[in-house]
Amino acid sequence: MIQKVDMDTKVKFLHGFAHKIRIQILECIKEEEKTVSQIVKDLNGNQSSISQHLACLKGCGLIRGRQEGKYMYYSLRNQQVRDLLSMFDAVLEDVENDVESCENHID
Amino acid sequence: MIQKVDMDTKVKFLHGFAHKIRIQILECIKEEEKTVSQIVKDLNGNQSSISQHLACLKGCGLIRGRQEGKYMYYSLRNQQVRDLLSMFDAVLEDVENDVESCENHID
DNA sequence: CTAACATATTAACAATTTCTAATATGTGTG
DNA sequence: CACACATATTAGAAATTGTTAATATGTTAG
Looking up residue A61, the CATH number of its domain turns out to be 1.10.10.10
Nearest C-alpha neighbor of A26 from the set A70, A76, A72: A76
Looking at the complex, does the CB of residue B77 fall below 8 Å from at least one CB of chain A? yes
User: Per the CB < 8 Å rule, is B18 touching A15?
Assistant: yes
User: Residue with CA nearest C5 C1'?
Assistant: A70
Give the ranges where A29-78 is alpha helix by DSSP (H).
36-43, 47-59
Proximity of residue A91 CB to strand D below 7 A = no
User: Per the CB < 8 Å rule, is A11 touching B5?
Assistant: no
In a domain, B18, yes or no: yes
What pLDDT does residue A94 have? 77
Which amino acid is located at B74 in the chain?
Answer: Y
What is the rounded average pLDDT of the residues A88-104?
71
In a domain, A37, yes or no: yes
What domain range is B96 assigned to? 7-102
What number of other Cβ atoms are within 10 A of residue A99's Cβ?
Answer: 11
Which residues pair with residue B66 across a beta bridge? B73
User: Per the CB < 8 Å rule, is A96 touching B10?
Assistant: no
In a domain, A80, yes or no: yes
Q: Contact at 8 Å (CB) between A7 and B24? A: yes
Report whether pLDDT(B68) > 80. Answer: yes
What is the rounded average pLDDT of the residues A63-86?
96
In a domain, B107, yes or no: no
- Going through chain A in order, the beta strands assigned E by DSSP cover 34-35, 63-68, 71-76
Q: Each residue of B86-104: pLDDT tens digit? A: 999 999 987 776 655 555 4
Q: How many domains does chain A have?
A: 1
In a domain, A2, yes or no: no
What pLDDT does residue B98 have? 62
Q: Contact at 8 Å (CB) between A22 and B14? A: no
Q: Each residue of B18-63: pLDDT tens digit? A: 999 999 999 999 999 999 999 999 999 999 999 999 999 999 999 9
Looking at the complex, does the CB of residue A82 fall below 8 Å from at least one CB of chain B? no
> Strand C contacts (CB < 7 A) among B residues 19-78?
19, 21, 46-49, 52-53, 56, 67, 69-70
Q: Contact at 8 Å (CB) between A65 and A58? A: yes
